[in-house]
Amino acid sequence: MDSSSSQPNTSRNATSVCCKFSVVLPGKVFLPGSSEYDSSVGSYFFRTARQTPACILEPNSAEDIEAIVNVLASDTGVKFAIRSGGHTPNPHQSNVDDGITIDLRGLNKIERVEGHSNILAVGTGAKWGDVYDYLEKTGRAAVGSRESSVGVGGFITGGGLSFFAPELGFASENVVNMEIVTPRGILCANANENADLFRAVRGGQGNFGIVTRFDIKTHERSTYWGGGILYPESSEDAQLQAWSDLKNGKYDPHAAIVQSYLFFGAQKSFMISNNMVYLQEAEHPVGLAGFENIQPQVEGTNTMRLDTTKNFALELQGWQPLDQYAVYVTTTIKFSPSVGKKINSIWREATLLISDSPNVTSVLTYQQFPPQSKDNPNGMGLQVDDELHKDHLIVIISIYWHETNDSERITNVAKDTMDRMEAAAAGENALHTFKYINYAAYWQQPARSYGEAANEAARGVSAKYDPQGVFRKQAVGFKFQ
């Protein structure tokens, strides 16, 4: 839906709550028809997320958000959405029709924490590119998104897979403290204070409150080896063998690979890409040789070099199709070349079904599962002893298209394709139940995939910090059981 042409269909309830906000937050409430409203709706990365709420709130402090939560708690009927960078492709997750959207982009301050040279305080509304800009000259790196435009808030509360994942785990494990607004007020959450909340939010997105600031560790790392290479699809067997060799060898925490099988509708061509880094200042490291040496490569596409996080993230950003409809859907598998081969052929068959959609891009991506932290566990129900990082991969199908009329058909193909992939993986005893929330489709219930113990803990945290269930019942997005 285009923001400029849309007029929301809004109930009286949502409209009257917007009126209350006009009193509580003067100058920060935007109604349909205003340029601020259109600009906020139009700024969602994907068209699939451009819903039209009754009003958009643009707070710029934790106190503003506390006032918002108090109003929401007094009107139990109204739905609301929490938005940081606006990168989810899912409709009604960080935006909502007939409800209130809280646009957090104004909370985007980045500053060093006094007395702690390795900790950076980052507002939820900042983009990872802003963080990398800030750190560029310091020789330090943050564990953030591999693409610069992604928002800090959704990325971290969903876990966060970065260039550093094989070494440092999810981005959320590199957070040492958060400021979060719950119905119990503005709280700090860290390993010592509100530790149950601190754990649950990391993987729990907006189920418990609104995080306003993350204090994240930075790591000494200026330049390291990385970049991308495109190969023809005939290299498939060599690509799968490279994964197999990586997984069967000694675990290398410095080698991070994102492998994508790509279909570009404009050229009607299939290709394979590896975007990779080796987290050392060493050229052509042995740890990536299995992928880097695959031949043939598409001429002129090899960008492997020594560079900074900022530049690697800008390079990947350049690959992203812009202003499109999109669907992401994910699963987790225990990798073997035979299961990879089956999944690839299911994706190829499905891609041919939608290849007539003008300029469609269809992508199947494999990424390493990160190791889990014993000292700073998240809320995703993952156990250190499972050691999924040794032999599991996260699988994502992402499809991008232009035509509104193709939305239902392509979404159904994505759903059916993932069902078939999961059946194929299950047939080889290679299917894991975990679904990574930042890549999950709206029908997938990723929070439930964390297992009963994590769901029980989440229910306890919700009852303690949000007894009335404001976030549980009124916030849109993925829910625990």
What residue ranges bind ligand FAD (CB under 6 A)? Answer: 45, 82-88, 93-94, 104, 124, 145-147, 150-151, 153-155, 157-158, 160-161, 205-206, 210-211, 320, 438, 477
What are the tokens at 361? 């891009």
Shortest distance (Å) from residue 171 CB to ligand FAD: 7
Closest CA to 184 of 316, 289, 70, 86: 70
E-strand ranges in 86-209 read: 100-103, 110-113, 116-123, 140-142, 175-182, 185-190
Closer to ligand FAD at the Cβ: 71 or 424?
71
What are the tokens at 191? 């390993």
Shortest distance (Å) from residue 232 CB to ligand FAD: 25
3-state secondary structure of 112: strand
- Decide if 93 contacts 48 (C-beta within 8 A): no
3-state secondary structure of 304: coil
Closer to ligand FAD at the Cβ: 151 or 169?
151
Report how far residue 416's alpha carbon sits from residue 435's, in angstroms, rounded to the nearest whole number.
16
Shortest distance (Å) from residue 143 CB to ligand FAD: 10
Shortest distance (Å) from residue 160 CB to ligand FAD: 5
Report how far residue 377's alpha carbon sits from residue 370's, in angstroms, rounded to the nearest whole number.
13
Shortest distance (Å) from residue 429 CB to ligand FAD: 27
Shortest distance (Å) from residue 398 CB to ligand FAD: 9
Closer to ligand FAD at the Cβ: 189 or 457?
189
Closest CA to 1 of 131, 71, 95: 95
Closer to ligand FAD at the Cβ: 93 or 417?
93
Closest CA to 472 of 207, 85, 93: 207
Closer to ligand FAD at the Cβ: 198 or 424?
198
Shortest distance (Å) from residue 365 CB to ligand FAD: 10
Angle in degrees, CA 93, 400, 164, rounded to 5: 70
Closer to ligand FAD at the Cβ: 126 or 304?
126
Closer to ligand FAD at the Cβ: 203 or 235?
203
Task: Look at phi and psi of residue 359 and say left if phi exceeds 0, alpha if psi is from -120 to 50, else beta.
Answer: left
E-strand ranges in 374-466 read: 392-401, 431-432
Give φ, ψ of 117 to 5 degrees. Answer: -65, -15
